[in-house]
A and B are shown apart, each in its own frame.
Chain A
């Protein structure tokens, strides 16, 4: 989905929507993307690659992205990751701090001004090191749903998905294993939206790499054994669409929380999940695959 035409950035041009802003503006006046990213990109003199983390509300985008960034900054795998600016660290700090207190981080608000954005320089160590500059925003699932239902409701999302070099699509494996079709439908909607954005002819497939991450896989451990088969069996609509319209899709199982407790209050009608400890599994693999595709 990378635009073939790369806009020439000035310090006041938004990276996402191309709007001209006042020089001192901290956010884009049109889409609320942080202008600090633009300033850092210009300093870097290298075009960044946007990887969008998408999925429905409460699927675990914030926790997944927070853990991924934290693992990268701790040199997990073969990676070195350098955050460009303090704003890039806020998301991982937020996630790690909350989990350390045995709570999940609060919901991401729909207002784009409240989203966390991470801009990282990632290097894959090895005989021929590969550097990639990545911009990864943590979007609200409800905003994504609203944009899917009515394109241009959130222009920032349209801009992001249009400019994305890769997409990591998070789907709740626990829900899917229990027979709920909701995640399957949401995933289908997102990929269909991306397909429409590309506006390819019917015989041309979308070549943007898409990593389908089956989150909360600790609820259905069989998912780790063979994520592809799991998706084919439990997310069949998504599976079929990927086969029909996408050339470059891979499936992964992932889990962050080791064990959960549940608390109830007599005053409220919902259950509060309490993460007792973190035991990340399969967090880095989708990212590693994505870097190889970029």
Chain B
């Protein structure tokens, strides 16, 4: 882990994307001399045994990447490890299960980041996921047990506002964006939430994270297209569909269920003034202000603090400059 957090400064000066070095691991089903089936096939030296146990427990195994049979299925899994580092996983199918017993082989490639590294990505797991996707597309999947694995250099994807102050993200359709505020309310209130049937879960998650304060954003344990398992203890799940038994499980675990196509639920009252302000900025197309406002919220803040900020912002005609926060 000695070379971790090393930002390639030279690349930032030349305009190419910043790159950082971080620990990595891969988990999939292989047949090796020592064992057979799902296992860690490679990990860089900085991954400690406790972290390995966490990734074995949490990584999706056979049939746990949703959309079985879809060779293009992609999943995301991101959670805080017991060691304190954040593990973000890119999941995909890598051919057929090697035992010949049917189904697709699930492949997971993950990186481990300390808080400062994750902050370089604006604490946005979709940015880390995108960087991992580039690595897997470029280098391919690892389907043999490796003795040693180097640490990984990945591109930092964090910018949502360009140098001219324009938002670089395509906005969500209004019907989809209406869900941002109730979902953000659930997360701010600390409730676990499952979103079922979202067509563009990655884009939705990116916007959702942008409107959350940094202190909340960096601890959202989330999955996309990974089947529900209580042992993963995630706070936010995106599921393509909802079999009956999973619906029962979610209900028994006190997980709020939101399904695409149903009426948009009301915003959590405790955070309503704050979220209504963000919604207004969204509807007016002031994405830069909205993102900037959320990004400036310092550390751990209460609902009343956020609502107070919204009140001050509403009182000023032109909005508050970031420096006044």
Contact = CB atoms under 8 A, between A and B. Distances in A.
Interface residues of B, number: 39
Q: Which one of A105, A113, A114 has the greatest number of beta carbons of chain B within 10 Å?
A: A113
Given A142-B39, A150-B52, A268-B95, A111 B231 contact: yes
Contact of B102 (A32, A106, A182, A271): A106
B61 A111 contact: yes
Interface of A: 22, 24-27, 29, 32, 56-58, 103-114, 140-142, 145-146, 150, 152-154, 182, 186, 268, 270-273
B173 interface: no
B102 A109 contact: no
B224 to A, nearest CB: 17
A271 B100 contact: yes
Contacts of B99: 57-58, 107, 270
Contacts of A113: 228-231, 249
Contact of B103 (A57, A106, A114, A154): A106
Interface string B34-76: 1111110000000001001100110011111000000000000
A61 to B, nearest CB: 12
Interface string B310-322: 0000000000000
B49 A107 contact: no
B37 A150 contact: no
Contacts of A154: 57
Nearest to A31: B231
Interface of B: 29, 33-39, 49, 52-53, 56-57, 60-64, 95-103, 227-231, 245, 248-249, 251-254
Contacts of B53: 146, 150, 152-153
A25 B98 CA distance: 35
Contact of B34 (A22, A140, A142, A182): A182
Contact of B61 (A103, A109, A268, A271): A109
The list of the 7 closest CB pairs from A to B, nearest first, reads: A57-B37, A272-B100, A110-B61, A142-B37, A25-B252, A107-B62, A111-B229
A273 B253 CA distance: 40
B35 A145 contact: yes
A83 B307 CA distance: 57
A106 B63 contact: yes
A271 B101 CA distance: 10
A141 B102 CA distance: 17
Given A25-B253, A103-B101, 9 more contacts: A56-B36, A107-B62, A111-B60, A111-B231, A141-B36, A153-B57, A154-B57, A182-B35, A271-B100
B49 A142 contact: no
Contacts of B97: 106-107
Contact of B229 (A32, A140, A182): A32
B62 A109 contact: yes
Contacts of B251: 24
- Interface centre among A111, A112, A182, by most chain B C-beta atoms within 10 angstroms, is A111
B68 to A, nearest CB: 10
B100 A107 contact: no
A112 B56 CA distance: 12
A107 B68 CA distance: 13
A124 B103 CA distance: 39
A106 B101 contact: yes
Contacts of B62: 106-110
A167 B29 CA distance: 26
A105 B34 contact: no
